[in-house]
Homo-oligomer: A and B are copies of this chain.
Amino acid sequence: MTRTIAVIGSGLIGRAWTVVFARAGCSVRLWDAVPEVRAGVMAQLAETCRISGDDPAALDHVTVCDTLEQALDGVEWVQENGPERLEVKRDLYARMDAIAAPGTILATSSSALVASSFSGDLAGRARILVAHPVNPPHVVPVVELCPSPDTDPDVMDRAEALMRDVAQVPVRMTREIDGFVLNRLQAVVLAEALSMIEEGIVTPQGLDDTICHGLGRRWTLMGPMATINLNAPGGVIDYLQRYGPTMARLADDAARGEAFTPEAAHIVAAAMPDPLQVPALSQQRDRRLAALSRHLTQDNQNTPTKDL
């Protein structure tokens, strides 16, 4: 049976989600509030596929809808990618909860808002959750699934199963927390990085090299926990006995929010390409992320043990 999915909002994230669902064989109903955006979206989707190397034939499964009602008709899942403003989410979820059939799950791509901030008063609050991707999800597979206190555990089960079925990697959280998991980890790295850069200990390029030619390579293959598990002969317990006190001392000494200064921002900006290059560099990033994803998929097939 073909699954039918609605994608609401067709900006960068919405288009990437459309590719994720369509290439997995889902029938996708795409809607954007702006008619001009809807008119141009199929051409943009073809361009998204061109950059990532996805087969544009997948787009045959995509229908651009003229109304929200059409888009939500008979779908099992709604992936919403609207503006990150609370009043917009409140209005949109009230409308979608009134329109969608009872079995339809409503998921937001929001990185900034927890679901309870807009779902708490709705009759269908048990079917609403956050499904937060990394931009753009068609070349980076992780999806944070974060319930509100009202989200039904069965909805979480269905969310997790759907994400696996469309070849994403779901990370199921047990409760709401500011920043979810991913941005909490990013925030501590950015704080410590900006602090060392502003203090002149290392250049922005040196900082980036430390991660991209160092720690980032291991983390791409196995994540921080599996990484330390292999950094001591007796595994993670052995590692934390040997190095835990040192790591704790470094964490105690680390920078916090005060590291986000205009001075640090300007030092980093001076080391970066002209902001006019951001669109071209983003396309290059997406092409490279797609190539990395293909490499890792192939490499996983050559790797007998699941744990790496």
Contacts and interface: CB of A to CB of B under 8 A. Distances in A.
Interface of A: 112, 134-135, 140-142, 144, 169, 171-175, 177-179, 181-193, 196-197, 200-204, 206-226, 228-238, 240-241, 244-260, 265-266, 268-269, 271-273, 275, 277-278, 280-282, 284-285, 288-289, 291-293, 295, 299, 303-305, 307-308
Contacts of A237: 265-266, 269, 275
Contact of A211 (B188, B224, B254): B224
A254 B190 contact: no
A249 B184 CA distance: 10
A245 B186 CA distance: 13
Nearest to A182: B210
A181 B284 CA distance: 28
B272 A225 contact: yes
A235 B185 contact: no
A188 to B, nearest CB: 4
Given A201-B175, A288-B303, A272 B229 contact: yes
Contacts of A204: 225
Given A201-B175, A224-B190, A240-B260, A209 B169 contact: yes
Contact of A285 (B181, B193, B201, B308): B308
B292 A308 contact: no
Contacts of A181: 196, 201-202, 206-207, 210
A210 B140 contact: no
A135 B259 CA distance: 29
A283 to B, nearest CB: 10
A26 B209 CA distance: 24
11 contacts: A142-B210, A171-B206, A187-B248, A191-B247, A208-B223, A212-B219, A212-B222, A220-B220, A230-B278, A251-B260, A284-B308
A64 B230 CA distance: 28
A251 B247 contact: no
B247 A214 contact: no
